[in-house]
Structure formats: structure tokens, C-alpha cells
Amino acid sequence: MILPQLLVLAFAGSVCGLSVEPVVHSGAGIYHGRHLPNFDQDAFLGIKFAPEPVRFTPSVLNHDSPRTHFNASNYGIDCYGIGADNDQLVSRGFTTLGEDCLNLNIVKPAGKTKGLPVLLWIYGGGWTQGATSDPRYNLSYVVEQSVLNNKPVIGVSINYRLAAFGFLYSKEIAATHNENLGLRDQRVALKWINRHISSFGGDPDKVTIWGESAGAHSVGDHINAYNGNNEGLFRAAILESGGSVGPPLNGTAWYQHMYDKLAASAGCGNRTDSLSCLRKVPIETIGPLAYQGLEWFHALDGTFIPRFGQESLLTGRFAKIPIITGTTTDEGFGVNGVNTDSDALQQLTHSKRYVLTEPQAQELLKLYPNDPVVGSPYGWGSRTWPEFGLQFKRFQSMAIDITTFAPRRLLAQQMSKFKSNVYSYRWDAPKYNTTSLIGVNHFSEIPFVFGNPEQDITPLGNSTENIELSRLVMRMWTSFAHDLDPNGHGGAALTLVDSNFLIPHRVHKAVYLIADLAGPFHPIYRKNDYQASLNRSFLRTFKFLGIEGTITKQVSVAASPERPGSWYGKNDYQAAHESQFPPTLQALNTEGTIAKVQPTLNRGMFMEQLMIVLRRLTAQLLSASGSIGSSGQTRLIVTRLHCCRDITGETGVRLGAWNEGLPSHVAVPYLDTTKSVPTAHDQPSYMPV
């Protein structure tokens, strides 16, 4: 096998340095790995956690062979998949694809370790492509930052079967209970880690599963699997741009014609047992046929995925664990060519990604006006791209709310009822040297969270700002894996988190928002003048379930109450920018003001509860800051509170602006979505779907 460029980079100097080969004796076998002197790490690669699977049947845990020696110095075969990413990996010699691909990789601090937390990566790629040998997923930089931050972890990455090989579905598949094989492969890998990671110096009780896109959806499926019984295989999760809800769980009626097309193309269409026939078709033949415009997602199977994700979340049948969940600002899950309402309806009701009923789709069109100012990509004002569709920005907004923003909210809200350490984020830093007009799109955070400056597929860039941001987020993620708190990153105090500051009467536990990861450093890290005006340097951010905002110690407002501008029920990004960062409120060092707070109410809390929360926040600020200014008076200014209806259908309120402490009376325009569709002025961002 060709030695991947990733390993050449990571292992440079190992021969000249005559490094000692690391060896681990475990119940599974004796593994001979490779020392990485540049990182002072030991890597054990290509470890088979399952034997070569029988095609279209579940994998099984590999037999233990404690006296057998295994070469674990190179990546193993990656699972067969077709797409631009895998094509590039193969053509550049990074990997070889095949069916005997169920292997994993372990990267750990060098030498003997004991009881280290484990951060386990599940790659994305639409469940169609992806590989652990991809240099963008090099774990050495992540593990290195954990050590430098005095919170060492062990990094693990796992392979799983893709597309038709891992997610084929039809009545034939359902009858033989061979659904969701790719997800079941992941579960087998988790069982191998639980059984053997202690031999590598890891703690099987401290595993955090982590994924992006389809990898994050996989993580969400593991959270919901078996009615929430995680079998002790993981204690926490990180979900980037995916979660426990979506992509749609289409049934046999959706997939049957795809299966029939595959069987016919492979010469198995007329066989009595077409599935057995497909198992015997050579990989060289069935491989390309399995990707003739066909995409396979997860499916309801009654066990691993017992029901729709939102049903599991709303009924409490999911694993109650600490999580980090988030999205990029724009994601970009819409499609081009949407020019009319009819085009939008067709996509919403027939695309594999949405599959809404027509009444639901009609409701969405009412709630999302074709106004380019409020559409995605955000921050571009009224600019449009008619070559992508006359309703391009409108449909992008609907698509990303359905596929990522609303599911992210629902997961955080439901999980926070059981766990206080639930964190949510929005990634707003664009990829290096990107020409994309989608904005801060899907996958934008990956170069940062892995921090590999050498890979050139999706480069990180060598600017100080990118390197610093990358180190920050790597330390946040590994800090979370280490002690379930991402704020132990060793950098500037970017977050305000108080685990004891809960909403009164314990209606809901706190949900924290990690400090916005967009440009927290001195250079203005935006792509145009409008975005530059929203630079969020040195913000300290907090979020409670239903109440979120920022505290900026040296920001004040005018002496008289500031009237909030009109609110159009935009997404998280626009609502936050309109209310939290208005240029007229950016005066600094104004005497007598300790903070400006812009909370968001999303769940229709009782006004009395809201008042208690704000009074407690006032007391907290006064206690922390004392009197400011010669007058000896200190004031808390609440400048904005808006609402929207989230995916659960609950309504909230929208308040005007306060000044000079807490008001004794506030006018509350109540948004009643049960009687009529809201106007464009008061439309909610989210609706039940």
C-alpha cells in the first residue's frame, strides 16, 4: 500500500531519529505502531475491529487474539465510496478502497498513559464518501493541543461502510433486518474501543463521540439508538452541522425503485433472491453501479433507529449526555434553480432532504418572504445571484433552518432538561481563501478543528488569526472531552458560564453558548464592510435555554431608551446581529454603564420568571463589578428581547428596550401563531416540520 502523504508529514524524521517502535499488548492482539517524534506521540493505525464483512449483512466484533502480532504502522484500506473527496484521495495515493475496510486508528501521547479520555471521530461525506486516511482528519494536531493545554486525550478515528454498501434499503433489506449497516459498523467499533482502549492508556468510561455532517447525524443516531441505551459506550458527544433529527428517514416506497434499479443494472433484477445475487457481484462491477445518481440515507428499522428523531427527543427516549452541538452560519443546503413558489414547493415536498407535506411547505413559504435582505447567504444585504435562482436566498434560508438550525435547537433544548452541560455554537469563520458565495458554508470549521497546516485539500491557511482560532477550538473540543467543559482552553476568557445560574424553579437547566468563534482576535475577520462592522472581538457570551445574549463590559447605549429596529423573524445569525451589534450602540468607555445585555426568549416563559432571571443577573453583575463612575451608580441596560417559534411550536414574546435598571412595566406584543399566520413584521424563524 502507498504510504499516505499524511503519514509522511506526521512521521517525518522518525527514521533519522531511530525512534523506538511503540508496542501495545492487549486482549485483541499485540500491536506494533509508529512513534511520531515531531509530536511526541504514538500512532496505531489500521487496527481491524471487525473481520471483512459479508456484503449487505451486519459486521461483528473481531475475534480477540492476544498472542498475535499486528503491524499497526500504516492506515488500512478505506471503505468503498464514490465522490470528489474519495476520488482525490485515491488519485493522490492517500488511500486504497475496498470492502475489508472496518479498521480504526489510535493517536495518543507517547509512552505509557493511563485513564486518558478518548475523543472518537466519525467522518462525514453524506454517508457516500469519506475516509480516516483523509489528511484533513489528521488527529495529531488535536492530540498535541490537548497535551499543551494540560488536558491530554487519545484520538480515535473509525471507518464504516458507505452508500449502498452501508445504507442499502428496500423491502428485501427490511425483511432480512440488514438496515443501517454503516451505523452498526460504528457501533461495533465503539464496542472494540470499550473493550480494548484501556490497553492503549485510555479510559473506556470517558469516550466522547464526535462527527461532522453525516458523521454528526451518525452521532445523533447513536444518541437515539435503542431508545437511548448507549450501552455505556460513550459519555458525551460533539455534533458539527448535524444531529439527532435529519436527514429524512424515508421508507421503502422511497428507496425501492433505487434498489430495483441497482439490481437490474447488476444483472440481478430477475433473480428470485436479488439480494443474494447482489452479494456475489464483483466489487468492480457493483461499485460504480451503486452510485448511478443514487443516494442512500439511514432508515427506520425499529431497533437502532426505532422512530423519527424528533419523536425520540420529544418523548425523552434518548441518551442523556453532555453535548456540544452547532452549525455554520450559512451551511448551504439549498439548491440552485429555485425561481418561483412552485419550484420551492416541488423541492420541499419531493427532495430527499426535506420531504414535507404540501400544507407544511405552503406554511413555510408564508413565513419566509422572498426578500433577499433576510435570505442566506447572510450579511450581503439586498444583493442577489439570479444565476443561482430568483429565490436562491429565500430557499437557502428555509433549507438550512429545516436541516440544521431547528434540529440543533431541538436537541439542545431537550438535552438540557436532563443535563446542565449542554453547549451550542454557531461557526462564523469562513474557510481560507474561499471563493464560495454560500458564505460560511458547510465544512468551513473542519480545517480549524483539526488544525493541520500541511494539508492542501481544504487548507487552514498560515495567518496568525487562523492558527490562533484553530488552536482555540481544538482546545475547546479536547477540554470538553477531558472534563465535559469546553471553556478550559487556556486562552482569553471568552465565555461567561456559571453552572449554578439556572432558570428559577428549575423549569429548564441552563444551556450555555460557547463564545462566538468568529474572529475573536484583533484583525477584523470578515469578508465585506457590513460583516466587518459586526466583528465580535473580545465578546463574552452566555446562553440559557430561552435567554441568550452578550455581556460587553465597556459598551453602553444612549441615555434614553433605544427603540429596537423592526424584527423580521430572521434566523439566529441575523436576529443576533440586528439586536446585538447595532453600530449606533458601539460607544466605548461610557461612564456609569457596566454592561449591555440582549437576551432572546424562545419558549414563552412566564414574565415573572424572566424578571427573576434578570434581577439575578443584575445582582451578579453588581457583585462582580461594583460601582462604576464618579456618580457611584451602576446600571444594567437591556436593549432587546425578541422571540420566535421554535421547532416545538411553542411561542414567545418580543419586548422593547429598557434603560436605567429593570422596568416596572413593559409592553408585551404577544405573537399568537395559533390564530393566524404572522405578518412579515412578526414572522417566526422556525416552525414544526
What are phi and psi for residue 206, nearest 5 degrees? Answer: -130, 55
* Catalytic residue positions, numbered: 213, 331, 442
Amino acid at 223: I
Q: Is 555 helix (H, G, I), strand (E, B) or coil?
A: strand
Beta-sheet strands, E only, within 270-396: 323-328
Angle between helices 464-483 and 140-148 (to 10 degrees): 80
Cα separation, 200 vs 144, whole angstroms = 17
* Amino acid in position 593: T
3-state secondary structure of 397: helix
Q: If DSSP codes are grouped into helix, strand and coil, which group holds residue 365?
A: helix
Residue whose C-alpha is closest to residue 624's, from 565, 548, 542, 557: 542
Q: Contact 431/447 with Cβ under 8 angstroms?
A: yes
Contact by Cβ (8 Å): 55, 73? no
CB-facing half-sphere around the CA of 445: CA atoms within 13 A? 28
Distances (CA, A) of 507 to 545, 606, 610, 629, 644: 10, 11, 12, 37, 19
Calculate ∠ Cα 419-422-425, nearest 5°: 170
Given phi > 0 = left and psi -120 to 50 = alpha, else beta, which region is 150? left
- List, in order, residues 6 or more apart from 348 with CB less than 8 Å away: 354, 356, 360, 361, 364, 398
Which one, of 217, 51, 3, 206, lies nearest residue 126 by Cα? Answer: 217
- Grid cell locating 222: 447513536
> How many Å apart are CA 569 and CA 684, to the nearest integer?
5
- A 10 A CB-CB count for 530 gives 13
Residues pairing with 82 in the sheet: none
In the block, which residue shows the cell 432587546?
Answer: 640
Ranges of H-type helices in 63-180: 84-91, 140-148, 163-167, 171-175
Amino acid residing at 500: N
Task: State the DSSP H helix or E strand holding residue 347, giving kind and residue range, or none if neither.
Answer: helix 341-350
Q: What angle do CA 438, 442, 443 make, to 5 degrees?
A: 130
